[in-house]
Structure 1
Amino acid sequence: MIEAENLTKEFFITGSDIPFKAVDSLTFKIEKGEVVGLLGPNGAGKTTTMRILCTLLTPSSGTAKIAGFDVSTHPDDVRKNLGFVSAGTGIYDRLSPEELLQYHGRLHGVDDKTIRDRTANLFAILGLEMYRNRLGAKLSTGTRQKVSLARALIHDPPVLIFDEPTAGLDLISTLGLL
């Protein structure tokens, strides 16, 4: 489901001609049903790797595939097969959780009835019913993270990637999210 081969990402630091390798020749394969964590110190390239997998960054060299689709040559197909949750929730302040899920469902080509059904199911599972019509700007950090998870799941992707989804949450909110 997720593959990387010799994945490398270089950044050029202002004032330097020498590239900084944030990810250096990373190779791995994750099969369907596996749960894998990327562990390492700050600056090890974990977030950069996940951003490449999510098509937010392009690799300098090497390849990465999600559900068989190359992140560089088929980014739209990758996004159809992927849900991404990060510490930055991606919640729009002027949309309610219900509007946000409708918007993202439609972006992924999900029909309105399926969006309604999945929204109801996700809200029930995540305890979001009472926040259905509250603007994103009025939601707590923990609730925003739950809405972000629902957003990542609305199109029922086969692959989920989480990048520090509990950052900034208290223990009770973290346990509720998990």
Structure 2
Amino acid sequence: SVIIGNTVLYGATGGSLYAAGKAGERLCVRNSGGYAVVEGCGDHGCEYMTGGVAVILGEAGRNFGAGMSGGVAYVYDPEGVFPGRVNRGMVELTRLAGDSDEALLKTMIARHYALTLSPQAKAILDGWEAALTRFWKVAPRPMSEDATAQEQDPRLLEAAALQAILAEASP
């Protein structure tokens, strides 16, 4: 059940959130430095995120990671449905990559359990090795070396085109 509303951690620049339940829509939208562990989220999670870390220990809604340009999210997906819910316009979806991902994730989940006594967190920690294979990592796709920022962000192209039109229209 949803226990915290829409847009939790909107524009967060720091701090942390541990919620033993599901967040509404747009969890961590424009998050630039906050840390969160929740047990599910609605649509548009981590939209336009620029920094921080989000850990989702349950179902995530559609359009996850749209416009995400920084930070990282880890999503627990025992049912194998999450890949179809990710907006891959700017992000890569991979399995955990090495000890640093595992250490960060385990530390955050252990802290979540210590603060909330979440049965979901306890089950994941108790079956840690098996649970690791069910996590996805969502992170911004790196810019290619020969691509400019304008080529990566269609909003910048649109702004540049509008600026050119306005410049031509000026007397």
TM-score of the superposition, structure 2-length normalised? 0.28
Report the structure, 1 or 2, having the larger helix content: 1
TM-score of the superposition, structure 1-length normalised? 0.27
For CA contacts below 8 A with separation 6 or more, give which structure has more relative contact order.
1
